[in-house]
Every structure is written in structure tokens, then in C-alpha cells.
Amino acid sequence: MEVLPLANTRLQTKKIYEIVAEQIQSRIQSGEYKAGDRLESVEQLSKNYQVGRSTIREALSALRAIGLVDIRQGEGTFVTKFDPGVLAEPIGDFVRFNKKEMLDFFEVRKMIEARSAAIAAQRRKPEHLEAMRQALYAMENAKSDGNLGEMADADFHIAIAEATQNKMLLRMMNQISETLRDTMRESRRLWLFSKEKTLERLHNEHQFIYNAIEDQNPLLAEQVMLAHLTKVENVFNQYCEENKIE
């Protein structure tokens, strides 16, 4: 197997682990690595690609996050039975934020959105509830299309901001909506990557938030929103710990 030296292929717009991941992804796509094959050890891949072991671990983690490989503790990394449609997704589109950036954004979301849910429960009107219901319906029916699910997820949180009837808050949420959608894309995929999490559970957590807002229970709305965001943050932290991402 010929491995291209990264010194000759590195692009300034990409991180080294992304380049490694894309080269491995290309070999999976070409059939050089087949479903069920075990990849070389981290140490061997590190030598092949002339990079550090931490870079290889990040590359494998990115591939695992989009469902191309399965990392089994004590056994190695195996190519999964993959959906060819996934292979068109660039690695860089999956992980756009580093750990500190993601944790900072989770902190901001918990500060803003938990309280927003409480205020929304006090001020919501029928049209706000309808917007939330539409987003929930879209989330429930977007199981085969991750992009639609991510958009619906973001729409639900924007709808809650609208229900607060606080123009400054809504303006701020709209200003960060692109970042919100990007971080939701990453955290949503990591949520689904976790063996304990499912789309149904994710939808149910949003339904609990909606129910509290509909029932005009501000304390419960704040609690369930905070619990939801904390769970997603914990999944992200667990992923970073398991893959030694700092």
C-alpha cells in the first residue's frame, strides 16, 4: 500500500488529521479497505503517514463519527458496512470546532436557552406553540435525512426564542443561528454515535421541553432544557475522553 507523505499533500485550509482521515476514507471508497477489514495499528498508521499517534487517533475518531470505522477497545479499528452516500461527506464538515470552542458554546447555550425556555413558558402564544410543533414534526420525520433533522432541531430552539417575545434575544439567536446549526450538526451526530442514544430519545427530550412550555410551567421548562443541553454536552465530553481529544 502506497501512502502519500503528508508533507506533500498538506493544505493550509485543512488540519493534518483531516488529510489523514480523507486518505483513509478514499481507500475505503476505492475498495482497498473492505467492510470488516482491520486497519493497521495506530503505531503503524503513524509511521505510514509520518504523523504523531494523536493525529491518527483524531483521524480515526472523525471516521468513526461519520460511521466508516468501528473502534473496538483492545481489538483495533475495523471498517464498517457503510452507506456509500456517507462517503461524499467531507471530513472537515463534521468537525469544525475544537473541544474548547464546543464547550464554550455549550456554556453559552445553557445560560441563554434554559432561561429562555422558562420565559417562553410564561409568554408563549398559540402561534409559537404551532412553530414548535412543526419543528418537532420535521425532526420526527427526518430520520433518513440528517441535514433536515439538524435544521428542524435548530428551528425548534429558535421558535422558543421567538416565544419569549424578547426582540433582543431573538436578534441574538438569529445572529448565531449559523454557529448554532453547525454545533448542532456535530453534537447531534455524536449523540447518535453514542451506543446509548437514539433519534427517538433525542426527539422525546425536545417533546418534554415543548410539553413544559405548553403547560406554562417555567420552572420545569428551564429544568428540562438544562438537562437536555447537559446530556448533549456529556456525550461530547465522553467522546473526547474516549478518543483522547484535548
User: So what's the pLDDT on residue 145?
Assistant: 54
Considering only the C-alpha atoms of the chain, give the largest distance between any 2 of them, rounded to a whole number of Å. Answer: 63
User: So what's the pLDDT on residue 7?
Assistant: 46
User: So what's the pLDDT on residue 113?
Assistant: 95
User: So what's the pLDDT on residue 46?
Assistant: 93
DSSP reduced 3-state for 72: strand
Query: What nine digits make up the cell of 122?
Result: 410564561
Query: Angle at the Cα of 75 (from 69 to 76), degrees rounded to 5?
Result: 40
In angstroms, the CA 197 to CA 17 distance is: 27
User: So what's the pLDDT on residue 196?
Assistant: 59
Q: Mind listing the domains of the chain with CATH numbers?
A: 6-93 (1.10.10.10), 99-242 (1.20.120.530)
pLDDT in tens, the chain (246 residues): 545 555 444 334 567 888 898 899 889 888 899 889 999 999 999 999 999 988 898 888 778 767 788 888 778 899 986 555 444 455 555 455 678 888 898 999 999 999 999 999 999 999 999 999 999 999 888 765 556 677 888 889 999 999 999 999 988 887 777 777 777 777 777 776 665 567 788 889 999 999 999 999 999 999 999 999 999 899 888 877 876 776
DSSP reduced 3-state for 5: coil
Query: What nine digits make up the cell of 137?
Result: 414534526
User: So what's the pLDDT on residue 206?
Assistant: 96
User: So what's the pLDDT on residue 65?
Assistant: 67
Contact partners, residue 92, CB within 8 Å, separation at least 6: 14, 15, 18
User: So what's the pLDDT on residue 10?
Assistant: 39
User: So what's the pLDDT on residue 225?
Assistant: 97
In angstroms, the CA 195 to CA 78 distance is: 17
User: So what's the pLDDT on residue 180?
Assistant: 78
Query: What nine digits make up the cell of 7?
Result: 508533507
Residue 14, Cβ neighbours under 10 Å: how many?
15
User: So what's the pLDDT on residue 230?
Assistant: 95
